[in-house]
A and B are shown apart, each in its own frame.
Chain A
């Protein structure tokens, strides 16, 4: 109990004492997960729309694949990304393994099915009558897609929250493809694992508080926007 208490005291001292290394790790986490999430949204939302609104052979199989991807364990994603990026792998020449870009790719792969799956589900739940009305208003294909995205904006924010929560807190994939190298590829989750392993609980607690705070802040902001959107929807 004493250790835990001392750990918290030391953690707050580190947090508010301006420990540059801790803030650097936090910033790296935000950048990696932010980039991965942005890329997943740019690719995933249109793909979700395509799957939701188009009819093609094998559509059910694709949806089943997306749903499976949503539940894929991060370490499995890490394994396959590592296999692709390893020196002898198909993308080995890019020399991305053990860089932050490899971590962005791994988190992108984790977030992508979540974004596709949730935006697909939200679009599918839109009333067919509304879809028909949008077409009757004279909307072209992209205009119709944009209007439908506006209709599901509350659900899209939930998608952002779910995807961000999944990647900011995952540890398996980023450690496998990033290597958890202090000062280079270490992010909050990997650092917590490492600090706990060597018994520096105060640093681990400080990092955990930042991670929790980050997750809470992002979700709080999005929840406020979402609830505002719901009351106006």
Chain B
């Protein structure tokens, strides 16, 4: 599939400082591509460069045409749309706001009015058409901003943390509506966020950016299951990060990861050789006493004591410290009470071999 937007050797330099240096980046038609990273990683700067808002060195190709001049960047902006964390509505009515984008792109008065009305209905805010911006709630204003972007029927929709300033119920409602709209429309979406749950919810593909460089790109589930760097694993909350060598087990069939300090972990299939692996905390099961060998499919058991307990939304995050390995696990509050998981209490953390996905170390992308 040829990308609708592709960048190569893209660099954004400001005041002598390189803010973004991305070797390759592409958004495919119809996909929701999430650009994930911590605050200050360069997500918004990369989005601005890809959207033609920020001049950048390197190659940028939009819909088969190289974007090299200011005029080409304007053309790129006129065929795409962007929504930012704050709605940035103009000092006019809701309808006026939505019509403005269309009028700037040459739509006639009647066409602009018709398409604006359709976009407002799509976002469920047709009844707000004559309201002015100061009479809108935060969620309503962001819906107007989204309607304004969708009204122009963009080839690529750029979303820069569009839900970050909204309260959780509004965020959930808007996410649901956006996913419904994305299903119906054939546009590509580049969605910038620092929220890994949001990335998991909305993304088809995800690119992780740190220090201005994209370090891993792939289908969302793959990247979340197999992060290729310790920093990404840490960002994703996969704090059990293992580094060692993969070898075939003594039975000739199973695969083991021999961690550098000698711990042997049964793992998913992977070629022999140096590798890294992450263990998602939601794949770890805790027991007060280790389950008898062979009684479960949980091939790995780490016996130890509870090192720490921290709230993680509606769950609790428990770190189990074994002799040579620390394992993080997520448990419900009910399980926490039932297992009496106070700090220092004895506990066994168990996980399946398939929960550990070794990635050959040579697949590491340079950071």
B342 on the A face (CB < 8 A): no
B134 on the A face (CB < 8 A): yes
Q: How far is the CA of A233 from the CA of B81 in the complex (A)?
A: 24
For residue A150, which residues in chain B have a CB less than 8 angstroms away from its CB?
Answer: 90-92
Docked-complex contact A132 and B86, CB < 8 angstroms? no
* Stretch from B12-20, B97-105, B222-230 that touches the partner: B97-105
Q: Tell whether A132 pairs with B53 under 8 Å between CB atoms, given A138-B77, A138-B78, A147-B90.
A: yes
Q: How far is the CA of A127 from the CA of B89 in the complex (A)?
A: 11
Q: Tell whether A137 pairs with B134 under 8 Å between CB atoms, given A129-B86, A132-B84, A150-B91.
A: no
- Max count, chain B CB within 10 A of own CB: residue among A132, A138, A153, A232: A138
Jot down 7 A-B pairs with beta carbons below 8 A, ordered by A.
Answer: A136-B53, A136-B84, A137-B77, A137-B104, A140-B74, A147-B90, A150-B91
B132 on the A face (CB < 8 A): yes
Docked-complex contact B134 and A133, CB < 8 angstroms? no
Proximity string of chain B (114-145) to chain A, C-beta cutoff 8 Å, 1 when within and 0 when not? 00000000000000000010100000000000
Q: How far is the CA of A138 from the CA of B73 in the complex (A)?
A: 10
For residue B158, which residues in chain A have a CB less than 8 angstroms away from its CB?
Answer: 136
A139 on the B face (CB < 8 A): yes
For residue A129, which residues in chain B have a CB less than 8 angstroms away from its CB?
Answer: 84, 86, 88
Proximity string of chain A (127-153) to chain B, C-beta cutoff 8 Å, 1 when within and 0 when not? 101101111111110010001001101
Q: Tell whether A136 pairs with B91 under 8 Å between CB atoms, given A143-B104, A232-B132.
A: no
Q: Which residue of chain B has its CB nearest to the CB of A135? A: B53
Residues of A participating in the B interface, judged by any CB pair closer than 8 Å: 127, 129-130, 132-140, 143, 147, 150-151, 153, 232-233
For residue B78, which residues in chain A have a CB less than 8 angstroms away from its CB?
Answer: 138
Q: Tell whether A232 pairs with B91 under 8 Å between CB atoms, given A135-B53, A136-B51, A138-B74.
A: yes
Q: How far is the CA of A88 from the CA of B244 in the complex (A)?
A: 92
Docked-complex contact A151 and B91, CB < 8 angstroms? yes
Chain A interface mostly helix, strand, loop or mixed?
helix
Docked-complex contact B88 and A127, CB < 8 angstroms? yes
Q: Tell whether A133 pairs with B77 under 8 Å between CB atoms, given A143-B104, A147-B90, A147-B100.
A: no
Tell which of B86, B91, B92, B100 touches A137, judged by Cβ atoms closer than 8 Å. B100
Docked-complex contact B152 and A138, CB < 8 angstroms? yes
For residue B91, which residues in chain A have a CB less than 8 angstroms away from its CB?
Answer: 150-151, 153, 232-233
Q: Which of B67-86 contact A (CB under 8 A)?
A: 74, 77-78, 81-82, 84, 86
Q: Which residue of chain A has its CB nearest to the CB of B105? A: A138
B148 on the A face (CB < 8 A): yes
Tell which of A140, A151, A233 touches B134, judged by Cβ atoms closer than 8 Å. A233
- Max count, chain B CB within 10 A of own CB: residue among A129, A137, A143: A137
Docked-complex contact B88 and A130, CB < 8 angstroms? yes
Q: How far is the CA of A232 from the CA of B100 in the complex (A)?
A: 17
Docked-complex contact B88 and A133, CB < 8 angstroms? yes
Docked-complex contact B77 and A136, CB < 8 angstroms? yes
For residue A136, which residues in chain B have a CB less than 8 angstroms away from its CB?
Answer: 51, 53, 77, 81-82, 84, 158
| CB-based closest 3 A-B pairs | A133-B88, A136-B82, A138-B78
- Max count, chain A CB within 10 A of own CB: residue among B53, B82, B91, B132: B91
Q: How far is the CA of A151 from the CA of B134 in the complex (A)?
A: 14
Q: How far is the CA of A139 from the CA of B73 in the complex (A)?
A: 11
11 more A-B residue pairs beyond the given contacts A137-B100, A150-B92, A233-B91, with a C-beta to C-beta distance below 8 A: A129-B84, A130-B90, A132-B48, A132-B88, A134-B90, A135-B77, A136-B82, A138-B101, A147-B90, A150-B91, A153-B91
Q: Which residue of chain B has its CB nearest to the CB of A233? A: B91
Q: How far is the CA of A232 from the CA of B104 in the complex (A)?
A: 22
Q: Which residue of chain B has its CB nearest to the CB of A232? A: B132
* Interchain nearest-CB distance for B31 vs A (Å): 21
Q: How far is the CA of A129 from the CA of B87 in the complex (A)?
A: 9
Q: Which residue of chain B has its CB nearest to the CB of A136? A: B82
Q: Which residue of chain B has its CB nearest to the CB of A130? A: B88
Tell which of A137, A151, A232 touches B101, judged by Cβ atoms closer than 8 Å. A137
